[in-house]
């Protein structure tokens, strides 16, 4: 999945990070971005990065984020953690589904396991069938595919997140306010009717 391009600043080549791909409009995934990838990342107009590793973000990368006004969300998951920490993945998923953070790049070291698990959980939220979720995971993990990751994705409970999303949607679209306004109007009508009877 990775692109191999000789980096030569004078050629002005744009080099995507290892294992780079678009997940969907406004969501990208990759391995760890190197300085050679910064020009390419600038073309994405990223608003945020979801970093799935526990190691500190390199100074050079932090400067790139600052100069491009990109927010960093770090979810420190160890590379060989088994099983994946469900709470941490859920927190990352909440950041990922929030469109205010888009365009967003998800990455770990190689863009395979931790990134693959997060994208797999996103696909479950999107109601993908599990065989398609596994196929996408394996496309990026290749021979390094982990049964524990596939089991994690399959067993990941998205119900809590869906309830959270519905709540946000109702608030965002003003349904909660309309309901309160209707109750208020109804109370006023009842009061007016009672006053008319007196």
Catalytic residue among 108, 121, 129, 164: 108
For residues 149 and 185, is the Cβ–Cβ distance under 8 A?
Answer: no
Question: In the annotation, is 117 catalytic?
Answer: no
Helices marked H in 98-158 — which ranges?
113-125, 130-141, 147-155
Q: Could you give the CA distance from residue 72 to residue 62 in angstroms, rounded to a whole number?
A: 9
Burial class (CB in 10 A: 0-12, 13-18, 19+), 138: middle
Torsion on CA atoms 28, 120, 81, 104, rounded to nearest 10: 20
Length of the chain: 198
For residues 140 and 116, is the Cβ–Cβ distance under 8 A?
Answer: yes
Residues annotated as catalytic (active site), given as ranges: 108
């Amino acid at each position: 999945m990775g692109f191999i391009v000789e980096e030569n600043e004078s050629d002005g080549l744009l080099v995507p990070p290892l294992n780079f791909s678009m997940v969907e409009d406004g969501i990208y995934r990759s391995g760890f971005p190197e300085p050679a990838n910064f020009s390419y990342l600038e073309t994405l107009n990223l608003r945020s990065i979801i970093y799935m590793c526990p190691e500190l973000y390199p100074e050079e990368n932090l400067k790139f984020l600052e100069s491009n006004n990109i927010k960093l969300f770090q979810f420190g998951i160890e590379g060989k953690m088994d099983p994946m920490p469900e709470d941490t993945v859920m927190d990352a998923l909440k950041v990922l589904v929030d469109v205010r953070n888009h365009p967003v790049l998800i990455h770990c070291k190689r863009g395979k396991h931790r990134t693959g698990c997060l994208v797999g959980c996103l696909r479950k939220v999107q109601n993908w069938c599990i065989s398609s979720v596994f196929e996408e995971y394996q496309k990026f993990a290749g021979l390094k595919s982990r049964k524990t990751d596939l089991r994690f994705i399959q067993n990941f409970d998205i119900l809590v997140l869906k309830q959270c999303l519905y709540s946000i949607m109702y608030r965002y679209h003003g349904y909660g306010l309309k309901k309160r306004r209707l109750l208020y109007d109804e109370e006023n009508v009842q009061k007016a009717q009672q006053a008319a009877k007196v």
